[in-house]
Structure 1
């Protein structure tokens, strides 16, 4: 299973993003492949939050368009919605302590715990994920997978 970080999905859907072409190619291969894709609500709702932001100017999409994108993902046979386990918060805080990171990386630590709990490889263009011990991590924009 792979767990894509929000940044890759935003790059894949925003033609104005620098790494758009590579991210789009990676995402197309992922959704058309056989490997499961885990999507926590934080990722899908984060996509809606940022993709519809007025701060993006002309690159922003409507809520209806973002909703359609997310619905399309959730309809894919390889996609699984990942839900937090009962001890998710405790695991996130413990991982942050082990990694020696501050609250600024709490969201990243949460995604890392989702990935570890589901034996998934977290895919991101954010190098901060290398700080989390025990996490399987790859940057598909740099690595060939």
Structure 2
């Protein structure tokens, strides 16, 4: 099962982003397909935080359009909401130690642990995820 990163959803959502066509096309095929896929509510919250931020986008997105986007992603029966499990925090700390995570890499370690614990392939545009042993990851295709 695949699990997309915040950056993939931001690019899929924002038509003015550099990788919009790639990410939107990939995400549309995932949502319309028959294969099971995961969505993390934390990733959705991160996407909303970024696209509504006036310091990131000259014309930030509205909450209503964000809500509609999130509902479209989570509505199909093949979508599974992915939450941290009982081992997540222990795995997160191990990821931080193994990658010597600091600053922004700490949240990457959190998401890496989420994907590993759920048995998902993490789909991202961020190559920093290569630092996390045991994480199966790829890019939108």
Residue-pair matches, total: 140
Aligned to 1:7: 7
Per-residue deviation at 1:34? Answer: 2.3
Deviation track 1:71-124 (CA, whole Å, cap 9, x = no partner) reads 221212221111111231221011111122224312111111111112111000
Q: Does 1:57 pair with 2:63?
A: no
| Structure 2 residues not aligned, in runs of 5+ | none
Q: Paired residue for 2:29?
A: 29
Q: Given that residues 2 and 35 in structure 1 are in contact (C-alpha distance below 8 angstroms), is that contact kept between their aligned partners in structure 2? A: no
Unaligned stretches of 5+ residues in structure 1: none
Taking structure 1 as the reference length, the TM-score comes to 0.90
- Taking structure 2 as the reference length, what is the TM-score of the superposition? 0.92
C-alpha separation in 2, matches of 1:108 and 1:122: 11
Question: For residue 105 of structure 2, what is the aligned residue in structure 1?
Answer: 105
Contact 1:37–1:79 under 8 Å retained in 2: yes
Matched, 1:129 2:103: no
Give the conservation status (yes or no) of the 8 Å contact 2:35–2:78.
yes
Moved over 3 A (4+): none
8 A Cα contact 2:13 2:69, kept in partner: no
What's the secondary structure of 2:86's corresponding residue? coil
For the aligned residues, what is the CA RMSD?
1.3
Displacement of 1:35 after TM fit?
A: 2.3
